[in-house]
Structure 1
Amino acid sequence: MKIGIIHDWLDKYGGAERVITSLDKIISADYYFAYANVMKNKDKLKMFNGKNPDIITSNVLKFLGSYFRIAFPFFPFVTKSFNNQVQKNYSIDLLISSSWCLSKGFRISDEKHICYIQARNFKYIWDEYQNYFPGIFGIIFTPLRKYLQNFDVNMSKNPNHVIANSKFVQDWINEHYKINSTVIYPPVSVQNFNLRTTKISDSEYYVTVGRLVKYKRFDLLIEAFIRLNKKLIIIGDGAERNRLNEIAKNHNNIIFTGFLNSEKISDYIRNARAFVFSSVEDFGIAPVEAQSCGTPVIAYAKGGVLETIVENKTGVFFKTQDVNAIQDAVQNFENILDRFDPVVIRKNAEKFSEEAFITNFRSFLEKNIH
């Protein structure tokens, strides 16, 4: 049996790419495909467990290099062109696609296609349209949006089997694509985060980690912790850094560290009073990593966190995405601090380990590949 794996594009090594790392331990692929490949070799070696395989990419997007995303109005053409390009030279029996945009539309011939949906697909024409096309631009691009939405729905009918990375995404798939899917949670590197069993109340700071981008709402966390006058450490960097610095200026309790290596991140998290999380994520790896350290999580009650956090046992929720709700949640957390057992928190995180992913994915293959 010839097997192919396709990832939307190879850019940076993150949560979606960890899925490929784990799949590579389950499946010995003959071919690897991606619409674009601009990933650094060091990240590629990490992604493919020390290997650096040949990646078959789209001839159309190759000309755009790292600017390949600007071709998104032409993604229907890119998908069709890549399918035609590959059909001429390759033959496979089983395809595993990793999709948050295009890969579900990949098809060479009559191969069996299993699609792992990494997120709400094509978010800039669905849920986040207003963020990418605000005001008058949103009105002008409405016809293009409708065209791309129809294209995306048609692509969703292509796989033989669809796997969602959370129940949140499963519900989204059902709502937008009207198709059934199976949930298999993505792999989290639980083993890389050491449990801290000393009393949480010994810690004096809270911590959050992530790319500093608008939708993650770090601004709300900063405002809330300025009002609370509690120490907040923000790990990461991104386009919002200057704006967030401006909000936090003259407030010494808000500390930006920039990018840190995984060992330093782990140290900060396991010694924190709690991990705070204000965005809507399809799964949300960071809150699980925090729980791997035995650190409780204070999170906005929407998205994948509702599946990974047990309220009042491994964390607490705030119901609205605003400053007052975050303040109230932090104060509530401190009132019930003694309820949180680091060992219990760690045990919950282990349900989302790489071992669990590999076991569940293998079981799915055994049931559906004949």
Structure 2
Amino acid sequence: MKVAVVHEWLVTYAGSEKVCEQLLLMFPEAELYSLVEFLDDELRFFLHERSPRTSFLQHLPFAKRHFRAYLPLMPLAIEQFDLSDYDLVLSSHHAVTKGVITRPDQLHISYVHTPMRYAWEMQQQYLQGANLKRGIRAIAASAILHYLRMWDVATANRVDHYLANSRFVAQRIWKTYRRKATVVYPPVAIDRFQARSVRDDFYLTISRFVPYKRVDLTVQAFTRLGLPLVVIGDGPTREQVTSQGSSNVVFLAPQSDAVIEDYLQRCKAFVYPAEEDFGITLVEAQAAGAPVIAYGKGGAAETVISGKTGILFNEQTVDSMVSAIQQFEDGQFTFQLEDLRQQAERFSPDRFRQELSQLIDQKFAQFRAGDAIH
């Protein structure tokens, strides 16, 4: 079975790249395709000495720093990949990779991290964050997103079987494409962490500073409570958010993996108010022995057991978050290291590879036999 793995773009090592890494481990002979590849040398380890095949976007002016500006060309670029030599195509999708073109006798399975949220339900937030609400540039941006939505729906049936990284994303796939998806939770490197019973007296959040992450809620809640909080991250709204903090809130720039591990293993609890598709950091916190205080929608509702491995609050407001933190401070719940670690182990890389391997074998056998696979 000849296999192609198609990834969106290779510029960092984050959640979707960790899924890509596991796919490459599962299929050591697979060829790797990506729209662009601009990885620093120290991040190339997860490619396992592969040289990705890239699109024409790789060679356009200023692509290394501003490849996202070529978003309108990405549907065209992804359709130019010649995948005709492969029996199985595995796409790792959050923008356009599900739109690769395959023949009727090729099986295409797409692992969806999320449908294009900036083109669908979060369009207004993205336009507002980019200051594109009025004027000619705003009209142009809206027109591009309109085109992307039409292309996104038009290419939905190029996929033979959808996989989703959470039930939350599976619901979004159904809403967007009217296609059912099988949930296979992504791999989380839980063995990096030691669950410690002795904790320091500070709360922790790690996040990009973008509007939908709602870091502002966390900062406002802890400013009101006066409890110690460490915020790790950076992004376009950082200056706005830091201006809302008081002396009990410490802001740090993005840190190395070793520093992140240390903070997660020492913090009193990990706090997170965003509605995430899955939320790898929430699982990492539990693996490190840190209870989670999070907004109870999206991936958090699937990865955190409220009252056992954390506290989920119902409204994305400062008041709701403050109430949950006060419950934690008052000791209304007791959290056991064994429960935290056991919950985290549900999302291990070994489990991911085993589940996905069984599913691919099943779907490939059905496909070769000519059976319906949906």
When normalised by structure 1's length, the TM-score is 0.91
Give the distance between the partners of 1:270 and 1:147, measured in 2 at CA. Answer: 45
SS of residue in 1 equivalent to 2:229: strand
Q: What are the Cα deviations for residues 178-219 of structure 1, in whole angstroms up to 9, with x where unaligned? A: 001100000001000111134xxx531100112222221111
SS of residue in 2 equivalent to 1:125: coil
1:252 corresponds to 2:241: no
SS of residue in 2 equivalent to 1:9: coil
1:367 corresponds to 2:362: yes
Partners of 2:207 and 2:215 within 8 A in 1: no
Give the distance between the partners of 1:320 and 1:140, measured in 2 at CA. Answer: 34
Match of 1:154 in 2: 154
Alignment RMSD, CA only? 1.8
Match of 1:289 in 2: 284
Give the distance between the partners of 1:70 and 1:30, measured in 2 at CA. Answer: 29
SS of residue in 2 equivalent to 1:230: coil
Bigger mean CA deviation after superposition, 24-33 or 60-69 = 60-69
Give the distance between the partners of 2:244 and 2:99, measured in 1 at CA. Answer: 43
Report matched runs for 1:108-127 at 5 Å: 108-109=102-103, 110-119=105-114, 121-127=115-121
Q: What are the Cα deviations for residues 233-288 of structure 1, in whole angstroms up to 9, with x where unaligned? A: 0122222322222222xx22101121222222122112211100011110000110
Q: CA deviation at 1:337?
A: 5.0
Q: What are the Cα deviations for residues 140-187 of structure 1, in whole angstroms up to 9, with x where unaligned? A: 654443332121012221111110000000000011100011000000
Match of 2:134 in 1: 136
Give the distance between the partners of 2:357 and 2:134, measured in 1 at CA. Answer: 48
Report the count of equivalent residues.
Answer: 356
Match of 2:214 in 1: 217
Partners of 1:204 and 1:273 within 8 A in 2: yes
Partners of 1:291 and 1:346 within 8 A in 2: yes
Match of 1:177 in 2: 177
Q: Which residues of structure 2 form unaligned runs of 5+?
A: 366-374
1:54 corresponds to 2:51: yes
Partners of 2:308 and 2:333 within 8 A in 1: no
Partners of 1:100 and 1:118 within 8 A in 2: yes
Match of 1:78 in 2: 77
Match of 2:15 in 1: 15
Q: CA deviation at 1:94?
A: 0.9
Q: CA deviation at 1:309?
A: 0.5
Match of 1:319 in 2: 314
Identity %: 32
> Quick one: which amino acid aligns to residue 334 of structure 1?
E
Partners of 1:41 and 1:52 within 8 A in 2: no
Give the distance between the partners of 2:240 and 2:274, measured in 1 at CA. Answer: 17
Match of 1:63 in 2: 60
Q: What are the Cα deviations for residues 92-116 of structure 1, in whole angstroms up to 9, with x where unaligned? A: 1111110001111112434211110
Match of 2:235 in 1: 238
Match of 1:331 in 2: 326
Q: CA deviation at 1:61?
A: 4.7
Q: What are the Cα deviations for residues 38-81 of structure 1, in whole angstroms up to 9, with x where unaligned? A: 22222121x22xx231111111453142222112233333333x
Give the distance between the partners of 1:266 and 1:75, measured in 2 at CA. Answer: 36
Match of 1:28 in 2: 28
Partners of 1:6 and 1:95 within 8 A in 2: yes
> Quick one: which amino acid aligns to residue 349 of structure 1?
A
When normalised by structure 2's length, the TM-score is 0.90
SS of residue in 2 equivalent to 1:369: helix
1:351 corresponds to 2:349: no
Partners of 2:5 and 2:24 within 8 A in 1: no
Bigger mean CA deviation after superposition, 65-74 or 323-332 = 65-74
Which of 178, 203, 210 does residue 200 from structure 2 map onto? 203
Match of 2:191 in 1: 191
SS of residue in 1 equivalent to 2:242: helix
SS of residue in 2 equivalent to 1:238: coil
Partners of 1:206 and 1:276 within 8 A in 2: yes
Give the distance between the partners of 2:76 and 2:184, measured in 1 at CA. Answer: 31
Which of 261, 265, 274 does residue 260 from structure 2 map onto? 265
Q: What are the Cα deviations for residues 281-309 of structure 1, in whole angstroms up to 9, with x where unaligned? A: 10000110000012100001111010000
Q: Which residues of structure 1 form unaligned runs of 5+?
A: none
> Quick one: which amino acid aligns to residue 2 of structure 1?
K
Match of 1:342 in 2: 337
Give the distance between the partners of 1:265 and 1:326, measured in 2 at CA. Answer: 23
Match of 1:93 in 2: 87
